[in-house]
Structure formats: C-alpha cells, structure tokens
Amino acid sequence: MKASTPYSREELFGLGRRRTFTGEALAQIAFPLGGIGTGTVSLGGRGQLRDWEIFNRPAKGKNLPMTFFAVWAQADGLPAVAKILERRLLPPFTGSGGHDRSGLGGVARLDEAAFRGEYPFARIDFRDADLPVRVRLEAFNPFIPLRVEDSSIPAALFQWTFENRSGRPVALSLLSTMQNPVGWQDIGVETKPFPPRLNQFREEEPVRGLWFWSPELKAEDPNQGTAALMTTWPDVDVQTRLYRGGWWDSAHLLWDDFAADGRLEHRIESTYRQGEKPAGTERPEVGALALRTTVAPGGSVTLPVAIAWHFPFIKCWTENIIARTAVSRQFRDAWDAGRTLFVNLDRLESGSRRWHGALFSSTLPPFVLDAVSSQASIFRTQTCFRLADGQFYGWEGCSDDRGCCHGTCTHVWNYEQTLAFLFPSLERSIRRNEFLNSVSPDGHMQFRSSAPANVRMGRFHACGDGQMGAVIRAYRDWQLSGDDAFLREIWPNVKKAVEYAWTGGWDADRDGVMEGCQHNTYDIEFYGPNTMMGAMYLGALRAAEEMALALGEAGKAREYRTVFESGRARMDAELWNGEYYIQKVEVKEGLEVPEHLRGPAACGAGCACRETPSPASPPLPAFEVKYQYGDGCLSDQLLGQWAAHVAGLGYLLDPARVRQAVLHVFRYNFQKPIGSFSNVQRIYALNDEAGLLLCSWPRGSRPKLPFVYSDEVWTGIEYQVAAHLIFEGLVAEGLAIVKGVRDRHDGLRRNPWDEFECGHHYARAMSSWSVLLALSGFSFQASRKAIAFRPRLGREGFRTFFSTGQGWGTFQQKASAGRFEVVLALLEGGLELGSLAVLPPKGFAADGRVQASADRGPVPAEASASGEGWTIVFPAPVRLAAGETLKVRLAASAGRARR
C-alpha cells in the first residue's frame, strides 16, 4: 500500500542539476562562512557580505559599513571600468533618507549573478556587459568531517577568478575594504568608554594585510577581540585608513582614486611591530587593500582574500557567566587564525573538496543533497559554540540578536543527526554533559544543560522524549565510534536515566508504557499512554539492553528486555486504531493537573461517557486536559522508531503497523497546497507551498484546545517523517516531503541555508542527515565491526557518502549480467570491518561465490544470503587506512542473472 504524491516520478527521482539561484531568487540568500562554533559572516546571493555574526552572538540584518569588494579592469587601448563586485541591488529601495549608502549603494554594480551553494563551497558567476573579464567568486571555510580543529577556523576565504576571453591584455585590480569591527557589537557586557581602535599593516610570509585591534582593551575584557583582512597576493596597495573628513569625503576619495587607475594612494600610517602599542582612534575606521595584476589574452587569474576574526569570550546562558571560547585556546588572535588558514590552505582545501566530492557525487536526487548539506551549516552559526575545554553547546536556534532557548535542549537535539555522523567527538561531548553533569542521583535529567557544564541549574520537569532519546543517542554514538571508554564512563547514569521512568512517575508499574505527566518537545505535557513518548521509551529500553550486554550486565539486560516486551505488546494492543497510533488521554489517580492545563470539558457533566466510564480506564475528569492530541494522527507518533532505525536497534512495534502508521501520517498530514488549511499558530508554510502538519484529526474528535503547535509545519519533523517513510520502503512519499521543504526555501521566499523554527538555523533541521541514511540503507556497528548498505533507490548503479566515528568515504555498487560489484573507498580515518551487508538490485540472483580484495591484496571472504540481500563475512577483519579501498564481487547464479 502506497499513497499518491503531488510530484511526478522525474521530479522525485531524477538526478538533474542542482539548484542555481539568479535574479529575484538571490534576495534571501545568506550563506554562512565560518568555523564550528566560531560564528559566521554570510555571503549574500548578490555577492554582498551580510549578517556579521562573528561576536559570539547572533546579528541578523547587521552589516559592517563600507565593507565590500570591487574591481577595476582596463583592456589595452580601451576605457577602464570600475564596479563593486555585487549584482545590482534588488528592491525595495525605500528609506527615510533614501536607500542605505553604508555599502556605497549608489556605485555601479554588475548586471547579473548566478549563485550556487554546495556546502561548504559557495560559487557566484557574474555577468556584466561592460567588464572586459568574466568574474567568478568561490568562498568557503574548511570543512573536513572528523577533523574538528581544521573545521573550526574563524575565517572566510574569498577566491576571485577573472578570466580574459579577449585578444587584449587586461590590467586589473581587486579592491577589498573593511571597517575595524572591534567593539562594533558587544556580547551583552558593555565596555564604556570603548578604548581607541587601530588598523595596522602587517606582513608575515606568506600573508600581508590589515590587522584590526584595540591596543588599550584589557586582555580580560569580555569585548576583547581582533580581526584581519589578508591576502597572499604580493602586489598590493594599502590604506590603513581612509581620508578623515566630513560628510562623505572618505567615500568620494576612495572610489574616485580607485576608479581612476585601479590604484590606491599608499597610506600606511601604522605598521605592526611586536610588543608595540601605538595610539588608535575613537571611531572605527575603514582600511583597504588593492590587489593588482595583468591578465593575458585567453588567461585567468585567481586573487585570494581572507577575513579572519578572533573574539575569545562568550556570555553563557547559565547565570550570564563570561567564559572563554575554543577559539581562545586554538589561536592567539585573528592574524594567527588567518595565517594558519593560508599556510595550510592546500591541505585544508583538498580535504574540504574531498568531502564535497564524496557527498555530491552521490546518486541521490539533488534536493536531497541540498537538504543534507545545507543544514550542516547550522553548527557553524551562532546556534552553536564551543568553550575552551572543547565542550560543544547549542541553542535551539537564534533570534535576530540573541540565542533562542538554551541548554543543548535534549528534546530538540533529539532530532539532530548531522553532527553525530560528521563530527562524532563533539556529539559525544554533548552526551557527556547530559549524563555526567545533568543527571541527578534519582535519574532526573535536566533537559537543558548548563554552560559552562559544571554549573547547576534549577530543577524543572524531566522531559520524557528528550531523556529517553538521550539514551538511544548514547547507544548510537557508542556504535559509531567504538569508544568503549566513553560507554563505561556514562553507563552508571544511563541506567539511572532509564530507570527514572519507574521512579519519576512515568511508568511506576514497569509495564513499559509511559502514563504520567510527560513533558515533551511541544513545550507542554501529555497525559496518558501515547506512542510518541512510548516508542522513545521502548527505544531507550532496547538501547540499554544492548549496552548492558556489552558491559557484562546480563541481569540488567533481561530486566530492560522484560519491560520492553511488556510495553510493545500493550501499546500495539491499546493504541492502534487500525490506521495509526493514538493517545489515550488519562489522568492517573493521584496525579494533579495544574489549573493552566484545565480547559472546558469536551462534553457536559451529565454525559453518559462520564457517568459510566470504561472499567479499564480511570474516570474522566470534569474538564478537558488542554494540549493533548487524543485520536489525532501525530506526525511524531513514531519518533522513537525513527531513532531506533538510525541507531540500528530494529523494530520497536509491529513492523506492518509501523509502516501503515507512517504512511497515514503522510496521507493525512502532508498538504500541497497548504493555503486552504487555516492555522492561527506560528506560520512556516503558506499559499501554494507544501508542508507536513504536526497533527491532524482525520476521524474527527479534534480537542477544543489541541497541543499548542499542532497546526504548524517544522522542517525537523518533516525530515524525520520523510526518512522514516523511506526506511519503511515508501520512498516516493519520503522524497515528496523533502522536496516540499526545499521548494519553500527557494531564495526568494526563504534562505536555503536557514531553516527556522523557534529561531534561525534551528537545530532540529539537522534531522535531514537521516534522509541520506535511509536512502543509502547505511548502518555501522563498531562493536561488531559490521557495516551495511541497503540502498532504497537506483540499486543497479548506486553511490553514496558514508561516515562513521572512525572514518568516512564513499560506497558504490553496480550490477551487470554476470556479477554484482561493490567498492568501499575510505577517504579519511581508519576502519576495521568484520562484515559487509549489501543489497543487490531486484532480480539479481547470487550463487554465494564471492571475491574480495583490498589495496594490499586478496581478502578471505564468505557470503551468505540475508533476507533480500547478502552479508559478506571476513574471517580476518579487514583494516582500511585513508586512501584505501575494499572491493567485493558476487557472482550470479548460472542462467538466473537478470536486470
């Protein structure tokens, strides 16, 4: 049984070109450039620099004045052309004093731009009728999975390429200007009066450029910081400051000077000397570099410029504590960060391109790769930060000027998968904070952790989905990494967290069903049995069982298994309505419902259902418990099953019912267009757009006051449901949801690199990684040295990126008339494999003969059928190092191989 989708097969399964944005679709684009937890400056769709979020707090809409790139070009014997290197401005052009002039909005710009973003690389191809050269920009920050420090450099690199297709040589200059940003935005602790700032020329091979700092700012001042504008290009004109005058004198002289001959009047008023602290100026000033060259006929040149920053303090969410960031430990200052980038650029860029090539060579629909890669930018934004001890933290998202919803919140970060698979050491640091610093002796877990980690916070409701999800994620992280020491370290409190269900009021009778007051990710409490919370609980029990067995605690494992079996049986028996799983709204005897959760009764006091309640259920209260979903079809009803699939824990509930339930989530909750649906809650999808509602009531019985976000559309839940559909073999339905999400983020209506919910760059959206896991059928269990790929599309010729806590690379399979071949190429790290499970295309019948080889020669292997697929076992584990490959070939049965 399947559901129809509003898209054609070609729209869903076609492997066409990835998106390019141009014209009006450039308006909302802001591509974040920066390291993990360092903050970012964003590259706008037109080529402008926007949203300067480099100060350890969000800064949406805040642009650094007089900071831009420009070009001067003169073909031999022809007039010169000078323009700012941005596409022409897009409407509106309003303002009380005319259009904003802080970026010289009235200066000529280029005719058009085509923006293409494949994280971490952004590329803009400009078109202009006047320039004698073609212009292309590529911008990025190093991003190499597993390499945390290499991926945490607070800098953005801009590589400008100018191509001369004429028959004349072209003299050319690239202008780069930047205002000193030190003190431009405080981190929430004002420094008054702010000491003078200084722009200095600095040269230290192979780099030269401008260093921005404040010589008199004390080293421990929370607003301490430095920045740099740098290049490795040798032929550079420099102005450490522009002309000081009234009105717009400085802008006039800068632009007229540059436009005349592509040169700057050389003005170096201060050169950096170690230990020297010359005087600065009270107002932040603008400095400029002009990189000069000549482009031969038919030739091209690439001019590199980097912007680096270093702000070593952050105001944490716990008691407003000021703490040092990881940047303060990793680099001395911004110059050190930028120089590190340039000195190691070949290695850093090649590693980043290796990751990019591995991911984007996958044979997955382009909108899937778009969804998976774009949300990897989230942990580089101000949603996330790292402190000097390396501990990783995350808000739920970012408001325009501050973090939104603190604590690496368990019930939101439950959905995140991207960090876990790309930078698993950082993910394990979250687990350590949860289990070592946030669990009380009775097992109650603070679902919002403190930052710094050793500061105790006030106690609130434990969060059922977040706490049980943390247990599942602990199992996932252990299996990805094979880090037994990590498991032993957190295990005592993992047990406490699981068993809190028995002592904290969720499952006092240990029957495997959550029934009490269940705080959850909708910021309310559910009462009574339901599978959203219940399946998370079942997943935690299964994960705890597996971890207990690994640690030799067979008795504990049996205890968890017994509760699990009881819970799954009862939920399947009591919560299945023939199409999907529901909630039984019950208030257990002795449990007091707070006044603010008491709504008007659904029926009158004299109704027969109140006078003669079912003997199997507690009496109904004389009020409706607000914010429940009851008979509704909840999109998150099988959240725990999705998490279990990702973690490799198998089915928690009846497989046939699971498949049917998630299919009905799609049938009832996916709306295209969504405009005919009335929603008074927060708005994330409109008009002709597609979206997945959090809940619907296809059989009626919608509560008067359903849970508070029920009519909303959240991308993190959309990706979760999409991946789960694909896990169940409902591939078209899952792809339809993903396509709907990415079509909404089209550059005109929304930024493709900012999926928001309660804040920009919302952490829940990192559930998008699970779509790749589902489509590739990838799983890895380090404890068993077992890796698996069971593609759910294109099995005749399939390629995908994969990553574990030990290494990453690509997997490829192809089938021909007489054989089935797979190639696993490890590009980074190391990997030890005892088995490889694969899924040939339908119709391919293997006869059990297998050949395997690695770079060092043949590998002994045995093959056995496993369901639809095959499992290849290596009697002696295969050890792969970076750059090595494993090849396996299965022979077809004589006369039975067919496509």
Q: Dump pLDDT digits (tens) for 322-359.
A: 999 999 999 999 999 999 999 999 999 999 999 999 99
Range with the poorest average pLDDT among 31-40, 272-281, 568-577, 874-883: 272-281
Q: For residue 330, give the H/E element and its range.
A: helix 326-330
Q: Side-chain half-sphere of 155: how many Cα atoms within 13 Å?
A: 30
Start-to-end C-alpha separation, the chain: 24
Helix (H, G, I), strand (E, B) or coil at 98: strand
Nearest to 285 by CA among 197, 370, 369: 197
Per-residue pLDDT tens over the stretch 29-87: 999 999 999 999 999 999 999 999 999 999 999 999 999 999 999 999 999 999 999 99
Q: CA separation (Å) from 45 to 106, 112, 139, 370? A: 18, 11, 12, 16
| 211-225, 244-258, 360-374, 452-466: which is most confident | 360-374
Question: pLDDT tier at 898 (50, 70, 90 boundaries)?
Answer: very low
Q: CA separation (Å) from 585 to 98, 527, 530, 606? A: 58, 6, 8, 20
Identity at 806, one-letter amino acid code: Q
pLDDT at 754: 97
Please state the three-class secondary structure of 172-235 as a single string.
Answer: EEEEEEEECCCCCCCCCCCCCCCCCEEEEEEEECCEEEEEEECCCCCCCCCCCCEEEEEECCCC
Does pLDDT of 621 surpass 70?
A: no
In this structure, the number of other CB atoms found within 10 A of the CB of residue 101 comes to: 15
Question: pLDDT tier at 607 (50, 70, 90 boundaries)?
Answer: very low
Cα dihedral across residues 858, 861, 865, 867: positive or negative: negative
- Average pLDDT on 811-835 reads 95
CA distance 530 to 515: 8
Nearest to 839 by CA among 855, 827, 822, 854: 822
Name the DSSP class of 387: B
pLDDT at 606: 39
pLDDT at 603: 52
Pairing of strands 786-789, 819-838: parallel
Does pLDDT of 255 surpass 50?
A: yes
CA distance 413 to 882: 31
pLDDT at 604: 44
Does pLDDT of 615 surpass 60?
A: no
CB 871 within 8 A of CB 837: yes
Identity at 506, one-letter amino acid code: W
Exposure string for 449-472, b = 16+ CB within 10 A, e = fewer: bbbbbeeebeeeebbbbbbbbbbb
CB 217 within 8 A of CB 189: no
- Average pLDDT on 90-107 reads 91
Does pLDDT of 618 surpass 90?
A: no
Q: Rounded to the nearest 10 degrees, what angle do helices 484-503 and 424-432 cross at?
A: 40
Mean pLDDT of the chain: 94
Farthest CA pair distance, the chain: 98
Does pLDDT of 619 surpass 90?
A: no
Cα dihedral across residues 760, 641, 539, 545: positive or negative: negative
Question: pLDDT tier at 614 (50, 70, 90 boundaries)?
Answer: low
CA distance 315 to 402: 10
Does pLDDT of 595 surpass 60?
A: yes
- Average pLDDT on 165-187 reads 93
Q: For residue 647, give the H/E element and its range.
A: helix 639-647
Per-residue pLDDT tens over the stretch 622-635: 678 999 999 999 99
CA distance 302 to 456: 52
Question: pLDDT tier at 610 (50, 70, 90 boundaries)?
Answer: very low
pLDDT at 279: 84
Does pLDDT of 145 surpass 60?
A: yes
Nearest to 506 by CA among 523, 522, 529: 529
Question: pLDDT tier at 1 (50, 70, 90 boundaries)?
Answer: low
pLDDT at 617: 55
Nearest to 660 by CA among 724, 747, 568: 724
pLDDT at 320: 82
Per-residue pLDDT tens over the stretch 845-869: 888 899 999 999 999 999 999 888 9
312 preceded by a cis bond (ω within 30 of 0) = no
CB 759 within 8 A of CB 395: yes
Token code pair at residue 320: 């407003």
Token code pair at residue 235: 């032929």
- Average pLDDT on 640-668 reads 98
pLDDT at 674: 95
pLDDT at 899: 36
Q: Side-chain half-sphere of 540: how many Cα atoms within 13 Å?
A: 28
pLDDT at 16: 85
Question: pLDDT tier at 818 (50, 70, 90 boundaries)?
Answer: confident
Q: What φ, ψ does residue 692 adopt, rounded to 5°?
A: -105, 115
- Average pLDDT on 818-840 reads 96
Per-residue pLDDT tens over the stretch 740-779: 999 999 999 999 999 999 999 999 999 999 999 999 999 9
Range with the poorest average pLDDT among 187-201, 311-325, 770-784: 187-201
pLDDT at 846: 86
Token code pair at residue 661: 């339930």
Range with the poorest average pLDDT among 203-212, 347-356, 592-601, 884-893: 592-601
- Average pLDDT on 94-98 reads 88
pLDDT at 649: 98
Nearest to 215 by CA among 269, 272, 156: 272
In this structure, the number of other CB atoms found within 10 A of the CB of residue 230 comes to: 30
